Chains A and B, each alone.
Chain A
Amino acid sequence: MTDLGLHSGGLRCAHGVGGSIADYIALMKPRVMSLVVFTALVGIALAPIPLHPVLAVIALICIAVGAGASGALNMWYDADIDARMQRTASRPIPRGYVAPEEALTFGTILAIGSVATLGLVINWVAAGLLAFTIGFYVLVYTMWLKRRTPQNIVIGGAAGAFPPMIGWAAATGSVSLESITLFLIIFMWTPPHFWALALYRTRDYARAGVPMLPVVAGQDETRKQIVIYAALLLPVGLAPTMVGLAGGLYALVAMALGAIFLALALAIYRTREGRVADHAARRLFAFSILYLFALFATLLVEGSIGRLLD
């Protein structure tokens, strides 16, 4: 416990007492988990086949634990990067509170447990999607893409987009065009969200050797890409209405939020120097989180009202 060599070397455990419960919760990236649970809930709520409330809660627990497993496995593999970045240096492994092999075991048990439970209690389509999501996040994003290409977040972002599809599959036992539109919203939202963060954390990523777009292609190219993705996100945000999953209220909200998102992206494009530029990037990053919560909350509210009126 006191002498921990990471797979990448260099880090030692200075803390001899082992991890607390809070450290293990931190390994599961609870803030990411909250977004995963919320979008999965919307997937369940909008599905045409209602899921028993108790089974819905169990499905959400499994999806949350699966997301936590992905987080723990990501922190296990990326501990060397995390130690070099200001934003992540206080995570349990870099601080020496949890041994890497403990994080690996913890993540693996949670991954297998969540997939098996979802399959046994709900259905194997949802369980298969959850397994694929965990595998995609850990193997494709964390181990393969993250350290190799500036497109890491574009392709790897798919992992974060699957939860509403898993929720939908938990209720219906299938994948459909409607659930794919929910996937597409998060998929298109992820790159500008993370690139806004990377714009004001460029040095952090460069120090850690992560080839984020601003590090590899420069800040100007990143600004251009953010505008392109924000412009694409606007029509993609309306896709649920186009396929009949959402109505007029949602369309209005999606248009308004999409327009604000695009305006903030254009503000990033125009302001390129000094603290004002930094501020613009922080503003888009903060708004992007609100955007996704508000969009899915509108879907949930509109869908629930529609159910009550039927």
Chain B
Amino acid sequence: MADEERQERERRRRMRSIAIALALAGLVVLFYVATLVRLGGNVFNRPL
């Protein structure tokens, strides 16, 4: 029983960690996309 509980606890902790990682990755994508939208055509307007 204790072993089952430990496994379940670890599984849930792993799922929570994955969810946090996905949320952080989502936030990165969100700010990236928002920056592109905000800059619009100016994204390409830089000296080469």
Interface, chain A (partner B; CB < 8 A) = 1, 16-21, 24, 52, 54-55, 58, 61, 113, 117, 120-121
Contact = CB atoms under 8 A, between A and B. Distances in A.
Contacts, number: 40
A121 B27 CA distance: 11
B34 A17 contact: no
Given A21-B19, A54-B33, A55-B37, A16 B27 contact: no
A58 B9 CA distance: 33
Given A17-B12, A55-B37, 18 more contacts: A17-B5, A17-B9, A18-B9, A18-B16, A19-B12, A20-B12, A21-B16, A24-B16, A24-B19, A54-B33, A54-B37, A55-B34, A55-B38, A58-B34, A61-B30, A113-B27, A121-B30, A121-B31
Nearest to B13: A18
B contacts with A: majority SS: helix
Interface string B1-27: 000010011001101100100000001
Given A52-B37, A54-B37, A20 B15 contact: yes
A294 to B, nearest CB: 32
A contacts with B: majority SS: helix
A120 B5 CA distance: 43
A16 B5 contact: yes
Nearest to B23: A113
A16 B12 CA distance: 11
Contacts of A16: 5, 9
A210 B14 CA distance: 38
A117 B30 contact: yes
B16 A54 contact: no
Contact of A58 (B8, B15, B16, B30): B30
Contacts of A61: 30
Nearest to A113: B27
